[in-house]
Amino acid sequence: MTALALNQLIRGTPAFLLRLGHSFTSFLDGIAEARAMAENFKTLSRLTDAQLAQRGLKREDIPRAVLASFGRK
């Protein structure tokens, strides 16, 4: 019985580690994307209203523009 349980554990471990690795990678990708979005937001926020208008934006459009630049709605 112990050998059977150990065999099942050994077979399942690589799949579990693979799923864990994918989850961790997705988590880190999400952090990187959030940091990039925050930097984009800061950059746009520092522009004057005239500079924003040259880009076709108003100050209240900044959050939507940042989300759109990352493919979100």
User: What residues make up the domain containing 59?
Assistant: 2-69
Residue 73, pLDDT above cutoff 50: no
Q: pLDDT tens, 30-43?
A: 999 999 999 999 99
Of the CA atoms within 13 Å of residue 27, those in its CB half-sphere come to 6
Q: pLDDT tens, 12-71?
A: 778 888 888 999 999 999 999 999 999 999 999 999 999 999 999 999 999 999 999 998
Alpha carbon 12 to chain centroid distance?
Answer: 29
Q: Are 63 and 41 in contact (CB under 8 A)?
A: yes
Q: What is the dihedral of CA 14, 20, 24, 27, to 10 degrees?
A: 140
What total of structural domains would you count in the chain? 1
